[in-house]
């Protein structure tokens, strides 16, 4: 994975049913580097580090996987692009 670690803007969300019969929100569209990316699908997981809970999203636009992160202390409008890698 290529490390980026920069703030990005998420412009839209989509909602997906989970096997646990919950509905989860996922980023749909992101602005980064003067470009706009539209995601087709993704995975979401929670990670605990000490007292802080992080949400990690691996989102794909069909060509690239983007790892996005948020933590429980961040405003909903703040997102961090951790890194990218080519889709398999």
Structural domain boundaries, residue 10: 2-86
pTM of the model: 0.88
pLDDT, position 56: 96
Here the tokens at position 80 are 């961090």
pLDDT at residue 18, rounded to an integer:
75
Q: Which pLDDT belongs to residue 4?
A: 97
- Per-residue model confidence (pLDDT) at position 22: 82
- Count of domains forming the chain: 1
Report residues of the chain scoring pLDDT below 70.
none
Residue 19: predicted pLDDT? 77
Name the residue among 69, 22, 23, 65 with its Cα closest to residue 42. 65
């Amino acid at each position: 994975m290529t490390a980026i670690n920069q703030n990005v803007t998420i412009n839209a969300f989509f909602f997906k049913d989970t096997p646990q019969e919950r509905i989860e929100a996922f980023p749909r569209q992101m602005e980064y580097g003067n470009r706009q990316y539209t995601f087709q699908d993704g995975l979401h997981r929670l990670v605990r580090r000490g007292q802080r809970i992080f949400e990690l999203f691996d989102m794909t636009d069909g060509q690239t996987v983007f790892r996005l992160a948020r933590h429980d202390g961040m405003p909903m409008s703040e997102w961090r692009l951790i890194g990218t890698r080519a889709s398999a």
